[in-house]
Amino acid sequence: MSVSDRARAIGERVEAFVRDVVAPYESDPRRDHHDCPTDELIDELKEKARAAGVLTPHILSDGSHLTQVETAFVLQKTGLSPLGPLACNTAAPDEGNMYLLGHVGSPELKERFLKPLVEGRGRSAFFMTEPAEDGGAGSDPSMMKTTCHLDGNHWVINGRKCFITGAEGAKVGIVMAKAEQGACMFLVDLPDPAIRIEHVPNTIDSSMPGGHATLTIDNLRVPADQMLGEAGEGFRYAQVRLSPARLSHCMRWLGACIRAHEIATDYANRREAFGKPLIDHEGVGFMLAENMIDLKQAELMIDWCAGVLDTGSLGTVESSMAKVAVSEALMRIADRCVQVMGGTGVTDKTIVEQVFREIRAFRIYDGPTEVHKWSLAKKIRRDWKAGHGH
C-alpha cells in the first residue's frame, strides 16, 4: 500500500532521530537488575524526542490518530532500535493503552489519564493476565478470577495479576476485573498501596521498563466514575485494544529485525573466511536472501491487516493471521542474523543478540502462535458448518 505524504514525512523524521540520536544509547549502562532501561534513561531520551518533534508521533496535535497503515510506517521506524519505542513514546503497553483510552474513554478520563500518557509524562500498565497457579486468566480471559463489586460510589477490586508489563514505576493502570454484570475495566492512579508488587521475574526479554510484575490487588477502592465505559463490557473493550496492539508489536519488531539484518549484512560483507567474504559463501548469502524475503512478507502482512483495521473492522481473524505470520518470520530472521555473525552474534557487541531474545518472547506476547492458530481453526470449522447447513 502506498504511504501517505504526512506519514512518510513523520516516518523519515523518526528514522533519522532513532538512527542518529537513540542508537548511540544502546550501550548506555543505565539498566536495572532485570537489564531493562531505567526511567532516568528513558526520560532523557523522551526529552530529546520532544525537542526533535518526534514524541508520540502517531498521535497528532489535535488528538487524532494516524490511520493504521500510516501508523505501521511510523512505528516500524521507531523500532529500528530497541530503545526507539521508549524514546518516541510508541512502546507497549502505553501505545495500546493510549489507543484504548482514545476510543473508549470519556472526555474527563481522557483529560486525566490519557493526556499525561500522550505527553510522555508517565508510563502505564494493563492489568489482565493472572497467575496459572491460581487457575486465572492467561490466553483465555474468560477464566478471570479478579473480582469487583460496588460499595456505595466506589468499586472494590480483589485478585492477583502476573506478567503485568511496566507495573513497577507506572503512573496509570487499566485494571480488568469481573463483576456480576461481566468484565469491567477501571482507570487507577499508580502507585496505590492496595496494589502490592510481589516480584518481578527475570525474563528472556529486556526492552520493557519495569519488567513483567506479579502482584496482589487487595481491596483496591476505585471511584465509580473511573470505570472505563460500561460495566460488563470489559471483554468488548479488550477486543478494541487487542488487534491494533497486536499489530503494533509486529510493526516495532519488524523495525528491529530490519536493523539486525543490516548489522548481519554489514558483518557478512566485511568478514572474510576461507579466502572470501562470508557473503560469497552460499550458506551465508542464502540466509540473508531468505531474510530479505521474510522481511518483505512481514511488511506486507502488516500493511494488509492495517488496511482491514482502517475499514473499521475489528480485524480479529486478520490480526491473528498477521501475528502468527509476522512473529514466526521475525524469529527466523533474528535467528539467521545471530547465525551469520557467529560468535559475535551471541555477544552484546551489537543489538542482534537482544533482538533475538525479544522476538522469542514476542511469539508469546498478545497470544501465543498456537492460540491464534486454534482460533483460526475454530473459524474454519464455523465457516464450514455455515456453508453445509449444519
Residues 242 and 381 placed together within one structural domain of the fold: yes
Check residue 142 and give its pLDDT.
83
DSSP notation for 154-197:
EEEEEEEEEEEET-TT-SEEEEEEEETTEEEEEEEESS-TTEEE
Residues 178 and 227 placed together within one structural domain of the fold: yes
Residues 188 and 239 placed together within one structural domain of the fold: no
Last residue of a domain, one of 91, 113, 142: 91
Collapsing DSSP to helix, strand or coil, 132 comes out as helix
Check residue 138 and give its pLDDT.
80
Residues 209 and 249 placed together within one structural domain of the fold: no
Collapsing DSSP to helix, strand or coil, 223 comes out as strand
Residues 348 and 375 placed together within one structural domain of the fold: yes
- Which of 298, 304, 305, 352 shows the shortest CA–CA distance to 328? 298
Burial 176-199 (b: 16+ CB within 10 A, else e): bbbbeeebbbbbbebeeebbebee
| In-domain check, residue 116 | no
| In-domain check, residue 152 | yes
Residues 212 and 245 placed together within one structural domain of the fold: no
CA distances from 323 to 186, 251, 274, 350 (A): 27, 10, 40, 26
Domain of 327? 235-387
| CB neighbour list of residue 152: distance below 8 Å, 6 or more residues apart | none
| CA 137 – CA 145 distance, rounded (Å) | 7
Residues 256 and 373 placed together within one structural domain of the fold: yes
Check residue 1 and give its pLDDT.
63
* Cell 477490586 sits on residue: 157
| In-domain check, residue 98 | no
Tens of pLDDT, residue by residue, the chain (390 residues): 689 999 999 999 999 999 999 999 999 999 998 899 999 999 999 999 999 999 999 999 998 999 999 999 999 999 999 999 999 999 999 999 999 999 999 999 999 999 999 999 999 999 999 999 999 888 787 899 999 999 999 999 999 999 999 999 999 999 999 999 999 999 999 999 999 999 999 999 999 999 999 999 999 999 999 999 999 999 999 988 988 999 999 999 999 999 999 999 999 999 999 999 999 999 999 999 999 999 999 999 999 999 999 999 989 999 999 999 999 999 999 999 999 999 999 999 999 999 999 999 999 998 899 999 999 999 999 999 999 977
Are 369 and 328 in contact, with CB atoms under 8 Å apart? Answer: yes
Angle at 351 between CA 345 and CA 354, to 5 degrees: 85
Residues 350 and 294 placed together within one structural domain of the fold: yes
Residues 210 and 73 placed together within one structural domain of the fold: no
| CB neighbour list of residue 278: distance below 8 Å, 6 or more residues apart | 267, 268, 269, 271, 272, 284, 340
| In-domain check, residue 267 | yes
What CATH number does the domain containing 283 carry?
A: 1.20.140.10
Number of domain units in the chain: 3
| CA 247 – CA 302 distance, rounded (Å) | 7
| In-domain check, residue 268 | yes
Residues 276 and 371 placed together within one structural domain of the fold: yes
Helices marked H in the chain — which ranges? 5-17, 39-52, 68-78, 84-88, 94-104, 107-109, 115-118, 234-270, 282-309, 316-345, 352-362, 369-387
Collapsing DSSP to helix, strand or coil, 352 comes out as helix
Last residue of a domain, one of 231, 253, 283: 231
Residues 210 and 274 placed together within one structural domain of the fold: no
pTM: 0.95
| In-domain check, residue 73 | yes
Last residue of a domain, one of 176, 200, 231: 231
Angle at 166 between CA 164 and CA 140, to 5 degrees: 25
| In-domain check, residue 117 | no
| In-domain check, residue 119 | no
Check residue 350 and give its pLDDT.
98
Residues 377 and 254 placed together within one structural domain of the fold: yes
What CATH number does the domain containing 219 carry?
A: 2.40.110.10
| CA 264 – CA 336 distance, rounded (Å) | 9
Is the alpha carbon torsion for 368, 371, 375, 381 positive or negative? positive
Check residue 98 and give its pLDDT.
96
